[in-house]
Structure 1
């Protein structure tokens, strides 16, 4: 399947389009820094990682529109203190001027985090993103306890990159974030990338009632060559039909968007499963 085939794919399923909970738009200087990092992917990850959609903001938005991605967040995340408030303001403005984009936010363990997260929630932020490997912080820190509590009470989802792929961090893996969930069991969390490569352990976190996992880059040939998904867990994905949600990592992917959808279809879990993953669950999580 190629990108030109995507609209026909979701139309065959009887959908009105796609809802993708893991899309990135960032301030230009930040996105350029991210792309520069991926330019050195062979050094960082041991494999090349060409950015397929390395185009202008306008062109990227046109691409999402042509694919039929009806709703998406512009996920932002800081790598040091003092960035989150600025990124939240940027994301709020971007969503306000971009059809289909829902307001996203982020946070970092720093003084005042609880205050600016409260402000973001009050201003209508509908999804947050944190990246424990890039941020290099422990999610169990006292500075974030109030933040997790606020998000749990509000029922607003947070996309959490806590898996140890593509490279392990000091605080990645299911253990640290699993302890956050033990303290805040009602938290609506979306484990990014199906928790790769600790797939089974992160699937196990769905014992908490509001834990979901997004499909971002998982199951694609690119990722299978590095961190293969154990096929004995496929039936588990089927059982979790209401907890798996479409994510792509657009635009920072080394293949066409269609590859993610084809990889999901190849699981042979049925059209109802695909409809739930590619539309229903995203609609519910984003409050559309």
Structure 2
């Protein structure tokens, strides 16, 4: 691309030069205000799962954040929330579904947790129009292979909706946030449309293998290739051919983690552009692949 990305104001000219109608970002967070304040405090100050943390770039009122996405040209995005204990999912789903209903461009999103009634709750939000789900195995502290979730995975595989899943060991290794539990889940439910957050960083290779092996498994780019990520968890050069092939095959989608990021939104796009994998790859990642899912 001839256009360099240094600030958010340059983003629309960038995607227009690619011939795109805008951007689709499948890894965006909006949360109930009290929970959002706690999340921001956690990122800003660090903690058990965050080390020293980082300053949240877009710690703005919700209306200003929605406006910024519109200014950037992000035409579709979810309000990803995720439960970390029993009794949370239904309330979060009520909030995210209502937020989507009153926010242009926002995809109806939902979450779930292994608890009594989980199948009924997932069925309810699907019937209400949920288009995308989010779970975080590390924060939730559960194994996706737990028998309680088996009928839920079956339902979601049949529905074909994407599930953004944080399944890698960052920021803290251990538990079920690693490749093998997800591999076991896919052996049992090979038709799941999983979207592996952060390209599986730092366990890139095993998660790339799952994307190659299973037709509906994709990966999102959230925070990968940015200066922040490359300092501590650089993307391995030997996976560049696979990254190119998977992107062109519809298996890599744009994610940002907006607003909870330590850099301007434009930097995520610049990080993808400077990979020099070609305009067609960038077009696929920033629009086409996600448009086929949602």
Coarse TM-score class (shorter-chain normalised): over 0.9
| Structure 2 CA distance for aligned equivalents of residues 101 and 45 of structure 1 | 28
Deviations 1:252-279 (A, max 9, x none): 0000001110111111111111111000
| SS class of match (2:293) | helix
Instruction: Please state if 1:232 is matched with 2:241.
Output: no
| SS class of match (1:58) | helix
Contact 2:198 2:221 in 1 (8 A): yes
Change (3 A) 1:205 1:54: same
Instruction: Please state if 1:14 is matched with 2:19.
Output: yes
Contact 2:107 2:131 in 1 (8 A): yes
The answer for the alignment partner of 1:160 in structure 2 is 165
Q: Unmatched 5+ residue regions in structure 1?
A: none
Aligned counterpart for 2:112 among listed residues 102, 107, 113: 107
Contact 2:110 2:134 in 1 (8 A): yes
Regions of 4+ moved over 6 Å: none
Aligned counterpart for 1:140 among listed residues 134, 139, 145: 145
| Structure 1 CA distance for aligned equivalents of residues 104 and 259 of structure 2 | 17
Instruction: Please state if 1:33 is matched with 2:13.
Output: no
| Structure 1 CA distance for aligned equivalents of residues 25 and 126 of structure 2 | 21
| SS class of match (1:110) | coil
Contact 1:194 1:218 in 2 (8 A): yes
The answer for the alignment partner of 1:219 in structure 2 is 225
The answer for the alignment partner of 1:261 in structure 2 is 269
Contact 1:132 1:169 in 2 (8 A): no
| Structure 2 CA distance for aligned equivalents of residues 198 and 104 of structure 1 | 26
Change (3 A) 1:46 1:24: same
Change (3 A) 1:44 1:190: closer
Instruction: Please state if 1:58 is matched with 2:63.
Output: yes
Q: How many corresponding residue pairs?
A: 286
| SS class of match (1:138) | coil
TM, length-normalised to structure 2? 0.95
Contact 2:45 2:52 in 1 (8 A): no
| Structure 1 CA distance for aligned equivalents of residues 12 and 145 of structure 2 | 42
Deviations 1:17-54 (A, max 9, x none): 10000000000011111111112227754444110000
Contact 2:109 2:130 in 1 (8 A): yes
| Structure 1 CA distance for aligned equivalents of residues 172 and 225 of structure 2 | 17
Change (3 A) 1:43 1:122: closer
TM, length-normalised to structure 1? 0.97
Contact 1:53 1:252 in 2 (8 A): yes
Aligned counterpart for 1:173 among listed residues 172, 175, 178: 178
| SS class of match (2:232) | coil
Contact 1:42 1:49 in 2 (8 A): no
| Structure 2 CA distance for aligned equivalents of residues 122 and 43 of structure 1 | 37
Contact 2:220 2:254 in 1 (8 A): yes
Q: How does 1:236-251 map to 2 (within 5 A)?
A: 236-241=242-247, 242-251=250-259
Aligned counterpart for 2:210 among listed residues 205, 211, 218: 205
